[in-house]
């Protein structure tokens, strides 16, 4: 019997985290009282700026970090008491590609099957199935070292799935890939999720979360500050967004923001100052945006450009957190504390 059918009972939850807190040895609070529930079969997104605590929290869930406080159940198994059972029922894929470049694609997947204890009589069928899933069947006998970055990531997906885990953690898995390769991975993730597997995704690409996730949790400074579907989160912005590009002058931006907030052409308006200018959101922005541009021009505000668009998750971040999601740099690597069976 596979581990997929041996998950513990926790009211059909893949993840049940309650008041999870992690304080580093220097006193820094990396994760602050996080509680969340992820039902089985959900595609769940965990989003936040670099350094917000995304990677730290996912390392707790995959048993690589021990929380200071709180209780976590993964696939019904309790973190710290049933660590091995958790590890046997999850897949984990991060930014680093972990394939052996000296082996062929087929050999990489076969090695992963051996490492995870896939019964020998099932291995060859499993290898063929997974190589077909990630569209590497024709390159099965080529060395991974000759693969492009996108192909290596696809092979990484295959090795992550060899033991048929019911829950898969993806920690910014498409970072560094070109848009075509990134979207190809999206197809595989969607296909995997449609087969009933739960996916927990952290990403710096807002379009990625928007397209893939059923629900999203927004994290900032180690705390969850919003959880909802992408559509409901977008409704918080309200209507379309008018991006107005201004001169790189804080005084000009502040003046423009004040004019937009106090304009009598909108009943309800949301204005954010950005690095490039201001963003104005309102249910009437499509009809009255031009009037605002005229008002700014008449107030001697130099406008370099403008763009009207539907709300994106990047707009959500700006509205909720006051900052945009950074795609530069990486979250600081947390101190690794391995958990052994029976730790509490």
- The model's pLDDT over 166-205, given as tens digits with 9 standing for 90+, comes to 999 999 898 888 888 889 999 999 999 999 999 999 987 7
Query: In what order do the strands lie in the sheet containing 69-74?
Result: 29-39, 13-23, 69-74, 77-78
Specify the pLDDT at position 207.
Answer: 82
Specify the pLDDT at position 335.
Answer: 43
At 270, give phi and psi (nearest 5°): -120, 125
Q: Mean of the pLDDT values across residues 208-217? A: 93
Q: Half-sphere exposure (CA, 13 Å, Cβ side) for 66?
A: 13
* Closest-CA residue to 332 (of 25, 27, 53, 34): 53
Give me the residue label for tokens 């400074």: 221
User: Which residue would you say has higher pLDDT here, 329 or 261?
Assistant: 261
Cα distance between residue 4 and residue 163, in whole Å: 9
- The model's pLDDT over 133-168, given as tens digits with 9 standing for 90+, comes to 999 999 999 999 999 999 999 999 999 999 999 999
Q: Is the pLDDT of residue 37 over 50?
A: yes
- The model's pLDDT over 304-315, given as tens digits with 9 standing for 90+, comes to 999 998 877 677
Q: Mean of the pLDDT values across residues 218-234? A: 90
Whole-number average pLDDT of the chain: 88
Q: In the structure, what pLDDT confidence band is assigned to residue 326 with cuts at 50, 70 and 90?
A: low
For the chain, what percent of residues have pLDDT higher than 90? 67
Q: In the structure, what pLDDT confidence band is assigned to residue 11 with cuts at 50, 70 and 90?
A: low
Q: 228 pairs with which residues across the strands?
A: 216
DSSP state for residue 195 in the 8-state scheme: T
Q: Mean of the pLDDT values across residues 82-111? A: 95
Q: What angle in degrees, to the nearest 10, is found between the helix axes of 120-133 and 105-115?
A: 130
Specify the pLDDT at position 327.
Answer: 54
Residue 12 tokens read as: 């059909």
* Closest-CA residue to 264 (of 292, 224, 234, 301): 292
Q: Is the pLDDT of residue 290 over 90?
A: yes
Largest CA distance in the chain: 77
Cα–Cα distance list, 96 to 92, 174, 216, 247 (Å):
11, 10, 23, 39
Least confident of 6-10, 67-71, 186-190: 6-10
Q: In the structure, what pLDDT confidence band is assigned to residue 4 with cuts at 50, 70 and 90?
A: very low
User: Kind and range of the H or E element at 280?
Assistant: strand 277-282
Q: Is the pLDDT of residue 266 over 60?
A: yes
Q: Mean of the pLDDT values across residues 288-297? A: 94
Give me the residue label for tokens 């490492």: 115
Which domains are delineated in the chain? 3-228 (3.40.50.300), 238-310 (3.30.70)
User: Which residue would you say has higher pLDDT here, 47 or 105?
Assistant: 105
CB 174 within 8 A of CB 208: yes
> How far is CA 84 from its chain centroid?
25
CB 155 within 8 A of CB 145: no
């Amino acid at each position: 019997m596979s581990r997929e059918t041996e998950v513990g009972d926790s009211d059909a939850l893949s993840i049940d985290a309650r008041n999870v807190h992690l304080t580093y040895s220097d006193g820094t609070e990396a994760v602050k009282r996080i509680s969340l529930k992820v039902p089985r079969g959900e595609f769940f997104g965990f989003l936040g700026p670099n350094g917000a605590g995304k990677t730290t929290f996912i390392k707790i869930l995959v048993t690589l970090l021990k929380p200071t406080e709180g209780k976590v159940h993964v696939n019904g198994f309790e973190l710290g008491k049933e660590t091995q059972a958790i590890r046997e029922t999850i897949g984990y894929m991060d930014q680093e590609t972990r394939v052996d470049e000296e082996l062929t694609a087929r050999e990489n997947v076969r090695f992963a099957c051996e490492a995870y204890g896939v019964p020998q009589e099932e291995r060859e069928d499993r290898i063929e199935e997974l190589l077909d899933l990630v569209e590497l069947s024709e390159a099965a006998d080529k060395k991974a070292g000759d693969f492009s970055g996108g192909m290596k990531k696809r092979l990484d997906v295959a090795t992550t799935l060899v033991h048929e885990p019911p829950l898969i953690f993806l920690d910014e898995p498409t970072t560094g890939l070109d848009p075509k390769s990134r979207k190809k991975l999206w197809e595989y993730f969607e296909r995997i999720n449609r087969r009933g597997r739960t996916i927990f995704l952290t990403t710096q690409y807002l379009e990625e979360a928007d397209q893939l996730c059923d629900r999203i949790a927004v994290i900032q400074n180690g705390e969850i500050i919003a959880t909802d579907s992408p559509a409901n989160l977008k409704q918080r912005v309200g209507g379309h967004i008018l991006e107005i590009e201004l001169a790189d002058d804080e005084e000009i931006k502040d003046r423009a923001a004040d004019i937009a907030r106090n304009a009598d052409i909108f009943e309800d308006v949301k204005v954010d100052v950005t690095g490039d200018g201001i963003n104005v959101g309102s249910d009437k922005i499509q009809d009255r945006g031009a009037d605002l541009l005229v008002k700014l021009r008449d107030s001697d505000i130099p406008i370099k450009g403008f763009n009207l668009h539907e709300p994106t998750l990047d707009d959500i971040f700006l509205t909720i957190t006051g900052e945009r999601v950074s795609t530069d740099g990486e979250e600081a690597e947390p101190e690794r504390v391995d958990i052994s069976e029976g730790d509490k």
